[in-house]
Structure 1
Amino acid sequence: MMLGRLAIFLILNFAALGIGGLFTGSGVASAWYAGLDKAPWTPPGWVFGAAWTTIMLCFSLYMAYLLPQAESKTLLWGLYALQWLLNVAWNPLFFHFRKPAWALTVILLLTLLIGFFLWNYRQSLGLKSLLLLPYFLWLLIATSLNAFIVLKN
């Protein structure tokens, strides 16, 4: 049962990354992105792929553990769907439409939502809640990078 839930969340989470990646296009290599004034703490490009892979592995485990514990599965699936949509929406807003301020709004909402997951379900999962920490911490970093671009460009 656990492996089935894990497989479902792995598929959904990595599909979100794949769809977002389709909208990145030349993104990082584009003249537009290269010309932006970026935060001095911007990590090298390879870090993003490694971070998101780790995050989605941990988040898939987190959701697989949380689903049977949740009092309201409808609420949990609704929150998960909102997280999925916000996650997917960031790349096209930032890279395809070149709207960093809109993307900042999306990533702020996503950060708040993941913070809600972390806080709201911590008692249900105990130490397994720590599986969500990489996602939350990375979103704090990514939000700061996006905010820097909005403020400096």
Structure 2
Amino acid sequence: MTRPVHSAPSRLHQALGLLAWLAVAFATGAVGAVASIEAASFYAQLNRPAWAPPASVFGPVWSTLFTLMGVAAWLVWRQTGVTHRALGLFLAQLAANALWSWLFFAWHQGALAFADVLLLLVLIAATLLSFWRIHRLAALLLLPYFLWVSFASALTWAVWRGNPGLL
């Protein structure tokens, strides 16, 4: 009895997979953006540390990070399929990512936003390690995200503690 030959996924299948993972990543950004409609004006009224970036930096940084995250997930998906634990971690960290904007900008819950960003950091680290075991480039593509969220954790703490009446 001969074994069936499994052909490599078609280019169309691969392209659709990439688009899907990019859509998932950018959908997270869209959910956060809905919560952040008033973010620029709210951010402007907050006491911020001198090292806090201007509001105009966040959009380009997040666009870049969501692109890198989508590509990273796609690379892992190509190796494992959609049911792999690493992709579950990826989706979990996306949920924590989207929640942060609601906690901070929409609901003005500084303590919860700080707890969420710490959880997000742990989930990103777990995702990065899981990705490393499957596809090293995918893990490396998450490093800028990990570094940015590390910075965002410190910024969340500083802004929350500096604005007891608003957060």
Once the two structures are overlaid, the 10-residue window that deviates more, 106-115 or 123-132, is 123-132
Would the alpha carbon gap of residues 17 and 127 (structure 1) be closer, same or farther in structure 2, given more than 3 Å must change? Answer: closer
Indicate whether 1:150 and 2:160 are aligned: yes
Aligned length: 151
Structure 1 residues 103-128: Cα deviation after superposition (integer angstroms, max 9, x where no partner): 11111111111111112321321234
Would the alpha carbon gap of residues 126 and 117 (structure 1) be closer, same or farther in structure 2, given more than 3 Å must change? Answer: same
Aligned mates of 2:24, 2:81 — CA distance in 1: 22
Aligned mates of 2:82, 2:136 — CA distance in 1: 18
Aligned to 2:48: 38
Gaps of 5+ in 2: 1-12
Indicate whether 1:8 and 2:38 are aligned: no
Aligned mates of 2:106, 2:138 — CA distance in 1: 36
1:85 match: secondary structure: helix
Contact 1:70–1:76, Cα closer than 8 Å, also in 2: no
Indicate whether 1:108 and 2:128 are aligned: no
Contact 1:2–1:65, Cα closer than 8 Å, also in 2: no
Contact 2:48–2:159, Cα closer than 8 Å, also in 1: yes
Aligned mates of 1:126, 1:102 — CA distance in 2: 33
Indicate whether 1:28 and 2:37 are aligned: no
TM-score by length of 2: 0.82
Aligned mates of 1:130, 1:14 — CA distance in 2: 19
Structure 1 residues 66-119: Cα deviation after superposition (integer angstroms, max 9, x where no partner): 123348824234323311211111111101110011011111111111111112
More helix by share: 1
Aligned to 1:131: 141
Among all aligned residue pairs of Structure 1 and Structure 2, give the percentage whose two residues are the same amino acid. 30
TM-score by length of 1: 0.89
Indicate whether 1:84 and 2:94 are aligned: yes
Aligned mates of 1:19, 1:25 — CA distance in 2: 11
How many angstroms does 1:35 deviate by? 3.3
Larger radius of gyration: 2
Over aligned residues, Cα RMSD in angstroms?
A: 1.8
The match for 2:31 among 9, 16, 19 is: 19
Aligned to 1:66: 76
Aligned to 1:119: 129
Contact 1:67–1:76, Cα closer than 8 Å, also in 2: no
Aligned mates of 1:130, 1:78 — CA distance in 2: 18
